[in-house]
Amino acid sequence: MADASGSAPKVTRDLEDFSGDYETLDLLGSGRFGVVHKLKHKSNGTIFAGKFCSCSRPSQRKDLELEIELMAELRFDRLVHLEEAFLDTKEAVLVMELITGGELFDRVIDDNFELTENVAVKCVRQICAGVGFMHSKSILHLDLKPENIMCSRPDSIDNLKIVDFGLARRYCPNKQLKVMFGTPEFVAPEVVNFDPLGPGTDMWSVGVVTYVLLSGLSPFMGDDELETLSNVTGCEWDFEDECFNEISANAKDFVEKLLCPQEKQRPLCEQCLEHPWMNTDSGSDDTVAPPKNLSVAVQHLKKFVSRRKWARSINAVRALGRLQIGSKQQAKGVSAFSSKKE
């Protein structure tokens, strides 16, 4: 793992100081949380990303203060870092590292990029390293999905960053943590069932992301959110699509161990990094990730990415509300669930 050294962000400052230090430049994105602009530090010219958001409601301010508190502890090269934060009674600006490479999945579906199983191994290693550092700080991300895995540069996958800690929570083994939010395709069964969470909750999401990266298919995607959640709690997935004919047995074993229904039985990041699939580079036997181009997976991935972008364009930060699930779904172990954001 890379060195996690580096000073913590400055103590949160008053918003009235922001304009004296930073120049607000181009708009980078927007959502229900607010907007993200490119920022330029006036004294040294360093470029950052600035997340502008409202915190006028007590619940908003509480969530924002928690996000800032947790990000202050997450100084690691696989995690986007917070430089400093400015707040007043109604608004806030989080000054963060600017990531210019775009989303990982956009990179791997580019016509000039060759996706192989070796490439997938390289990506998942970095994801596990980032998640592992979070867990070492007793922090769960709780919203791991392709959109939250970014490339530092547009021409490389060698320095991936996990972003968006708006749903992250601190956990303690001796104290139950339960939430009812997340993204249905990537959320773990214990979230849907409102059961206690742990590090394995994030590892389930790593398993789903790995499955999608290898195949371009979403293992639990249903015709609607209700069916998707039912598939999650029923653990209904398989390797039956023909694209898995090109995938090694070690890769399938890696995914299968992560998509275990019991949270405490899923391997942690340290165990994942020791898995045979994580320690393969090239060769001919099945202990080694095949170097062949996963062309079928790429075609599936293009459709997956297009669908996700379409959904986000309708409502970038989507509140599903609480789903009341009937007796048929309850018999499968599904409970009421809401997605705080898409």
CA distance 188 to 234: 11
The burial of 196, by beta-carbon neighbours within 10 Å (0-12 exposed, 13-18 middle, 19 or more buried), is given as middle
Cβ contacts of residue 50 below 8 Å, gap of 6+?
22, 24, 36, 37, 38, 39, 93, 94, 95, 96
**Which tokens in the block code for residue 195?**
């059961």
Q: How many residues does the chain have?
A: 342
**Catalytic sites, residue numbers:** 143
Please spell the DSSP secondary structure of 143-180, one letter per residue: ---GGGEEESSTT-SSSEEE---TT-EE-BTTB-----
Contact 77, 2 (CB under 8 A): yes
CA distance 69 to 291: 42
